[in-house]
Structure 1
Amino acid sequence: MPLDRKHLIGKEAMLLLLHNENQLPEELRKLGWKFCKGKVGSMDGQKVVAAVETAAKNQGIVKTGLYRETHALYHAIIEAVSGVTRGSNQIGTLLRTVGLQFSIVRGNPYQNKEEGEWIAVALYGTIGAPVKGLEHEAIGLGINHI
């Protein structure tokens, strides 16, 4: 069965990230999807990955002891970071810094529930030289099956 076009997981993650109102989380709760938001700023790519991973574990979006869940999250994070960094996942080694907000959404975006759950990570913020005012906006999205 195809995707449920009313509830695309990547779109929901981006809307959650960029939307300021509380209505969207209510829609996600009705779907039974798990989600959270957070912030991270660093010149170290490992800190970006760690911040998103820690939030997902602390909010119960992924189970710490299940490798497949952490692995799926990791790939979604790396894909999102790749979007922010334009394909070169290096930050500090290239004298770049990021200031990002993130959202994580877990759910089943398919009409057939047997398709299982997916996870989406959305990143939005700034990237640039480590000098205030010398950055620009960037956005990234990563989606992976669990």
Structure 2
Amino acid sequence: MPLDRNQLIGKEAILLLLQDKDQLPERLRQLNWKFCKGKVGAMDGKKVVAAVETAAKNQGIVKPDLYRETHALYHAILEAVSGVTRGSNQIGTLLRTVGLQFVIVRGNPYQDKAEGEWLAVVLYGTIGAPVKGLEHEAIGLGINHI
């Protein structure tokens, strides 16, 4: 079965991240998808991964004791970080710092529910030299099946 073009998980994650804080993510609730938002600033890529992973576990997006869920999350995070860093996942070692917002969404974007659930992680914010004003916007999206 093909993707359901009315419920693309990456698109929904990006829209959730970029919408105004006052807007409720009613669409995701109607789809019965899980989601959470957070922020992280760091010069260390491990801190970005840890912040997203911790939020996903604390908000019940993934079950910490199920390897396949945390493994899927890890790969979605790395893919999103790769987008923000333009393929070089190093941050502090290259004298770069990031200030990011993130969203994690879990749901089934397929018409056939037997396809199972997927995770989308989107990171949006700034990356640049560790000097205020010497950064630029960046966005990254990672999607992985559970």
Tell me, yes or no, whether TM beats 0.5: yes
For residue 42 of structure 1, report the CA deviation from its aligned partner. Answer: 0.2
| Map of 1:92 onto structure 2 | 92
Partner of 2:104: 104
After superposing on structure 2, the runs of 4+ consecutive aligned residues of structure 1 that deviate more than 4 Å are none
The aligned counterpart of 1:27 is 27
TM-score by length of 1: 0.98
Counterpart AA for 1:105: V
Give a deviation string over 1:64-96, Cα, whole Å, max 9, x none: 000000000000000000000000000000000
Over the aligned positions, Cα root-mean-square deviation in angstroms equals: 0.6
Matched, 1:116 2:116: yes
User: Aligned residue pairs: how many?
Assistant: 145
What is residue 40 of structure 1 aligned with on the other side? 40
Give 5+ residue unaligned stretches, structure 2.
none
Q: How does 1:1-146 map to 2 (within 5 A)?
A: 1-20=1-20, 21-23=22-24, 25-146=25-146
Work out the CA distance in 2 between the residues paired with 1:145 and 1:125. Answer: 25
Consecutive unaligned residues of structure 1, counting only runs of 5 or more, are: none
Measure, in 2, the Cα distance between the counterparts of 1:113 and 1:53.
26
Q: CA deviation at 1:22?
A: 2.1
Normalising by structure 2, we get a TM-score of 0.98
